[in-house]
Amino acid sequence: MPVSPAYAPDPRFFGLGEDYGDAVRAADFPQTTLRVRNDRAAAAVGLETLTDAEWIAHFGRFEPLPGQTGPIAMRYHGHQFRTYNPDLGDGRGFLAAQMRDDRGRLLDLGTKGSGQTPWSRSGDGRLTLKGGVREVLAAEMLEAQGVPTSRAFSLIETGENLERGDEPSPTRSSVLVRLSHSHIRFGTFQRAAYLARADMVEALIEHARSLYHPTVAAGDAPGFLRAVVEASARLTARWIAAGFVHGVLNTDNLNVTGESFDYGPWRFLPHYEPGFTAAYFDQTGLYAFARQPEAVFWALTQLGGALKTVAEAEPLTEALNSFGPAYIRELRTAFLARLGVQSLGEAADQRLLDTTLALLREGGEAVRWEPLFFDWFGGFASSARALQGPRGKLYQGETFDAFRFALFEHAPDRPERLEAPMFALAEPE
């Protein structure tokens, strides 16, 4: 197999032992048709030289990559809509491989739709092609907007007819491979605590700390929690700035590296709507757009609860309390990035954040989320483009005065980006 010399297998999770996962085999699919291969992501881990046939062999039939030990279905628990479920685990996916990227960071190749596992319960272990395409679209859009996210590595259609209650059936099947820094979830720690296995909690902390948060000292559970809190605050702020609604912020869908992953019923806001939900089954709006910071913080408190198995409550609480300030700080940074302008310091940055959010709230359906950031990207350097565009008359109203004044205080960040062809268009694509 012509892997690049840059390919560096390093299956670290597999070394934790049998308490954390189960060896599994992929389904034997009747058909394997390549639909998406992410060569940019593959180049980062030395797999871009694979032929399409080799790609299908490894990511459709799951023949092991060199230096890997075989698929493992990870064990974890989790709160699903705040109800604890001890019967979770990888039910239609597995950890297929781990390797170092071109910056020396450990990365996972994880699957979705690769067949049944001991944790499938009543599920068939499959993924619809529609669901796979939605995963690709979400990951690509969020990556483009600077949101920490897993990357859609591969999508292969698998030739089966699936029955689903939430889309027209029979529907086509697929298997997805995602590239992510970690698939260790909050629920991975919850399971260890549920089993009263302090040794497992300690092993997980050391494993995740050393690989993903190496600046934290060995044995420092509160320090590890604080690192996860800060990464999660950054992720949540980027979701909000992107107008993104994940939809299912259960503790088994949040990981210790602060990366967005497992895209199911996600949606993007058309305009500001705090109660906007992505999942049809979220009937109470628990995971609505504006409640996502609350949801992530609640999930972090469950992680903190699991860590009480090995640490005192007070320093863990202090670590959790860092979420609010970290989230606001990251939200300022995220909105500056979306508007393409430079920081002027905390006070001016906060003023711009406040006026932007006020505009989005008060503007209602007239102020569409994505067009606003597209039109005004670069601040005053884009004023002529914005005012002469299809929404120019809207922007000349008094409602926009405070926003424009706050925005124009900030110099454009890397204004050469405004030369990109997309900014010659009337609408974002």
Q: Range with the lowest mean pLDDT among 30-44, 217-231, 389-403?
A: 389-403
Res 3: pLDDT: 79
Question: Which DSSP letter does residue 164 get?
Answer: -
β-partners of residue 255 are: 185
Distance CA(353)–CA(336), nearest Å, equals 8
Nearest one of 360, 361, 377 to 428, comparing CA atoms: 377
Res 397: pLDDT: 86
Distance CA(332)–CA(353), nearest Å, equals 6
Give pLDDT tens digits for 334-384.
999 999 999 999 999 999 999 999 999 999 999 999 999 999 999 999 999
Average pLDDT value for residue range 182-195: 98
- Note if the pTM is more than 0.85: yes
Tell me the residue ranges of DSSP E strands in 29-164: 33-37, 72-74, 78-80, 83-85, 95-100, 106-112, 127-128, 151-162
Distance CA(69)–CA(53), nearest Å, equals 22
Q: What are all long-range contacts of 262-270, with beta carbons under 8 Å and residues at least 24 apart?
A: 262/112, 262/150, 263/134, 263/135, 263/138, 263/139, 264/131, 264/134, 266/134, 266/138, 268/141, 268/242, 268/243, 268/244, 268/369, 268/370, 269/243, 269/244, 269/245, 269/369, 270/365, 270/368, 270/369
Residue 429 binned pLDDT confidence (cut-offs 50, 70, 90): confident
Give pLDDT tens digits for 3-13.
788 999 999 99
Which DSSP helix (H) or strand (E) runs through 228?
helix 221-242
Give pLDDT tens digits for 124-146.
999 999 999 999 999 999 999 99
Distance CA(365)–CA(353), nearest Å, equals 19
When the pLDDT of each residue in the chain is averaged and rounded to a whole number, the result is 96
324 has a pLDDT exceeding 70: yes
Residue 417 CA, distance from chain mean position: 25
Distance CA(1)–CA(65), nearest Å, equals 9
Distance CA(258)–CA(397), nearest Å, equals 39
Res 428: pLDDT: 86
Q: Which of 90, 108, 252, 349 is catalytic?
A: 252
Q: Range with the lowest mean pLDDT among 165-174, 256-265, 268-277?
A: 165-174
Is 252 an annotated catalytic residue?
Answer: yes
Average pLDDT value for residue range 217-228: 98
Residue 76 binned pLDDT confidence (cut-offs 50, 70, 90): very high
End-to-end CA distance of the chain: 38
Residue 329 CA, distance from chain mean position: 19
Average pLDDT value for residue range 269-297: 97
Q: Which residue has the tokens 């005004």?
A: 376
Q: What angle do CA 355, 356, 361 make, to 5 degrees?
A: 95
